[in-house]
Amino acid sequence: MKDDTIAAIATPLGLGGVGIVRISGPEARAMGAALFDRPLGDHRLVYGGIHDPADGSIIDHALGALMLAPHTYTGEDVVEFQCHGGPVVLRRALGATLAAGARAAEAGEFTLRAFLNRRLDLAQAEAVLATIAAQTDAAQRLAIAGLEGSLSRRVGEVRRTLLDVLAYLSARVDFPDDDVPPDDIRPQLTAAHDALARLLAGATVGALYREGVRTAIVGRPNVGKSSLLNRMLERERAIVTAVPGTTRDVIEETASVRGVPLVLIDTAGINEAIDPVERLGVERSRAALRSADLILLVLDGSTPLSADDRALLEAAGERPAIAVVNKADLSPAFETAALPLSAVRVSALTGVGMEELADAIVARLGAHGSGASSLEQALMASARQVDAIRRARLAVEEALRGVAAGAPEDMAGVDLAEAVRALGEITGEDVTEDLLDAIFSRFCIGK
C-alpha cells in the first residue's frame, strides 16, 4: 500500500466551465488547508482562493471540498478544488499541490487505491473504465450494473460453491481417519459449470455493447449505400448523388442500433473499376468486406440482380451478413425469398423498413440470443475477465470428467483449485502486482 499523497487533474484538459484538481492521501487535508484561504468544511463546498505557495499570489477563485476517510472514493482523505476550466489555471493549481508535497498520480492510481482500500473489488474497478468508455446508453447501463457489483455477485456465488466442494475434498484427502462420509459432488459441479456457461454467454453479448461491431456497408455503385449510412446515423454524413461512384474512400461513423454500437463503414461501390482512384476505393471496400464483423449487403430492389450483385452475395454468404434490399418505395424487381442471405426490404429515402433492419441486425449478432435473452442478462466483462471465466469452466469440466471416470479425489481438487484461482482473478482475491499494473495502466490519469 502506498502511503504518500497524490494529486492530478481529474477532468479533461481543454477549455471548459469547470476543471477539478484532486488530492488523495494522508496529507491531503493539510495540503488543502495550506493552499486554500478559507477553512475547508467536511463534505461540503467552500468558496475561496487557491494560493501559490511560492509567493502567496492567488491562482484561482474556486470551490474547495474536504472529504474524510473512509467515506471517499479512494478510502483516504480527499481534497478537490473545482477551478475554472482552463488548462493554464489547472496546471498552476496542480503545480501548487505538487509544490506543497504531493506526488503526481499515475494512471488509474485513484481507482487502484479504492481497490486496495476495499472500496471496490477488482471487477467493480474495471467497470469504472467501462463506464467512462461506454458508447451507448445500453453500454452505460451495463457498466453501471458492473460498478454496482452484478458481475462480482455472480462470480462470487460460483466461487463459493466451488470452495465448499474443495473444502470437502480436502477434508477427505487430508483427514482420512476422520471418517468424512462420501458424497456425490457432481450436482454441485454441474450447477457451477452451468452458471459459468451462462456467465460466458452474458459476457459474449456484453462484448457487443462494450466493443461495438465493425459493420461494412457494401454493394455495387448507386444502390444506396451512403443513403443507408445517413439514415442509420439520422444525419447527412455521406454525399449522396445520382452519379454512380460518388463514394471513393471508406467512411467510418458509429451508430447505436438497439443499444449496440455499430461502427458503420461506408465503402465505395464494388465493380470492375477502370478509373485508378475508383479502383483504389474498390480495393479498400473489398478489404472492409473481409475484415468486418457484420456485412450489410445493399441491393437495389427496383432492378434485377446483376452479375456484380450475385458475386457479392456469394462472397458475403461465407460471412455474417444481411441483404438490405433498398428502394422499397419503388416496385420490386425480385423476391427476397430467393436470396441466399436473410434479407430486409428498406427505403433509405423514406425510412420504411429501418425498424425491421434493426431487429435483423440484433438477431444476427445474437444480442438477444446465445443464452442471454435480454440486456439484463448481459454482462459488461472485459477480455481478461472472459478469459478467467473460460479457464474456470474448463477446469470444472476436467473435474467432472475425473469424477465420472473414478479418478482420485485429490485430482478433482487440483482442477477445482485452478477454477477458484481463475475466478479470484476477476474480483481480486487472487491477483498479482503485475496484473494490477496492467489493469490500471489503461485508466486515465486523475481517475
| Strand 103-104, strand 6-9: pairing | parallel
Domain range annotation of the chain: 6-105, 137-206+379-440, 216-365
Helix (H, G, I), strand (E, B) or coil at 83: strand
Residue 290's CB is within 10 A of a number of other CB atoms, namely: 11
DSSP state of 42: B
Identify whether 70 is preceded by a cis peptide bond (ω within 30 of 0).
Answer: yes
- What gap in Å lies between CA 80 and CA 272, rounded to an integer? 62
Q: What is the pLDDT of residue 243?
A: 41
| C-alpha cell belonging to residue 17 | 466551465
Q: Cell numbers at residue 191, please? A: 450447477
Closest CA to 210 of 270, 146, 156, 157: 146
Residues 6+ away with beta carbon under 8 Å from 127? 143, 144, 146, 147, 151, 380
3-state secondary structure at position 252: strand
- Cβ contacts of residue 161 below 8 Å, gap of 6+? 188, 191, 192, 195
Give the model's pLDDT for residue 241. Answer: 41
The answer to whether domain 137-206+379-440 and domain 216-365 are alike in fold is no
Q: CATH says 6-105 is which class?
A: alpha beta
- Mean pLDDT per 10-residue segment, the chain (447 residues): 88 91 97 95 92 93 96 96 95 96 95 94 92 86 91 95 90 66 86 95 84 87 87 65 46 84 75 48 62 89 91 82 94 90 93 93 69 61 92 96 87 93 93 86 86
The CATH number of the domain covering residues in 137-206+379-440 = 1.20.120.430
pTM: 0.78
User: Alpha helices of 37-86 — where are they, by DSSP H?
Assistant: none
CATH pick for 216-365 out of 3.50.50.60, 2.40.440.10, 3.40.50.300, 3.30.530.20: 3.40.50.300
The cell for 67 is: 472529504
Q: Tell me how many degrees the CA angle 307-313-317 measures, rounded to the nearest 5.
A: 150
Do 417 and 411 touch, CB atoms closer than 8 A?
Answer: no
Residue type, 349: L
Q: How far apart are CA 446 and CA 346, in angstroms?
A: 47
CB 442, CB 199: distance < 8 Å: no
Element (H, E) at 29: helix 28-35
Cα angle 256, 252, 278 (rounded to 5 degrees) comes to: 145
Tell me, what's the pLDDT at 400? Answer: 94
